[in-house]
Structure 1
Amino acid sequence: MHDTVSRMNAALHHRGPDGGDVWCDTENGLALGQRRLAIIDLSDAGKQPMHSANGRYVMVYNGEIYNTEELRQKLASANIAWRGHSDTEVIVECIAHWGVRETVKRLIGMFAIALWDRNAQKLTLVRDRLGIKPLYWSRYDGNIGFASEVKGLLAGNAISREVNHSGLEAYLRFGYVPSGHSIYAHAKMLKPGHILEITG
């Protein structure tokens, strides 16, 4: 599992040349990986996958949240011992405090989020309202995979190379693949503003 996600990470090195890490929950058959492009908090306190202070959530995230400081101030009453200054930490602590859906309502920015709830054993994928940040996912060969580019899914054998003929036809006719689909049969793009919850 670690090796698979490491291969996926390596395929997406260009998206985050400043570092990368993998976290595994072998008991539940889940792994999260992330390539880092360090912009807001350059220290190790901004590294991902990131755990919430209460230990319940583990998150990887791509994007930028413009109202980070406003959200941090709104959490002042929660008495969080902040470890750094990254927007990643603010998102995961907002989720720990308000929950996923309420947090997403409050986020202003561009983002693709993958969150593992260790208590509920639930994976949640979230994409920003305008769909600025990409997020592909797959259900193939008994496994769930996700990545910011299809090449990540290919590197992890999370999809086959079978072509989505309707997607290809649309691309040749209109110059793009319709929202929610991809050029590959087993890869789907999460639609803008959507939340996908996966359990069991």
Structure 2
Amino acid sequence: MDHLHTFYTVIDLGGTFAFAISGAIAAKVKGLDIFGIIVVAFTVACGGGILRDISIGAIPPAGISDWRYLLTSLIAVGVALGFGPMLKLLNRPVILFDALGLSLFAVSGAEKALGYGHNYEVAVMLGILTAVGGGVIRDIFLNRIPVIFENEIYASAALLGALVVVAGDYFSIPNGWTFPLGFALCFVLRILALRYHWKLPSFNNSNKYSDGI
């Protein structure tokens, strides 16, 4: 169990760093002050994990009980603010780090739910929740429509990553194989969807109905 705990913590901290950078950069672009940037970065980085831990009974959640999560978020804020010119060399850094965090949390959320004895359905749902929860909080804080409510391939990419982890557990495949595979598939799908403008089907009935329903 100690080995599993260490494994989850390392992956969570990696996802925390990636999401915190995306949150800090987005908050900086919106013109928030340093306190606002830190708050957005931390809640983006730890929001999904906190919701996951509450759901599986891992109380208190690691995001608020383990000082390493706050420290990781602060380091990410420092990187986002101190190395802004370097990050600008990356193509749309917010999207890149958001995709990294999405992929890491999708697989770690599903894996942790399985480790706590929950069934496959719960593992998949919590993998998605862990992955998209922080992004939803970020978008609400920054007064934007959350990505998962638009026709972006976002939560569906997290679904794919979580399903790979669950399928690996079902077929008794070591997570040393399924974890990186789930991460890679989620990340690549998200990046390709952005690159080639892949969208989920959307339905607009505004022209059909005149009563606004």
Instruction: Classify the TM-score, shorter chain.
Output: under 0.3
For CA contacts below 8 A with separation 6 or more, give which structure has more relative contact order: 2
- TM-score, normalised to structure 2, is 0.27
The structure with the greater share of residues assigned to helix is: 2
- TM-score, normalised to structure 1, is 0.28
The structure with the greater share of residues assigned to strand is: 1
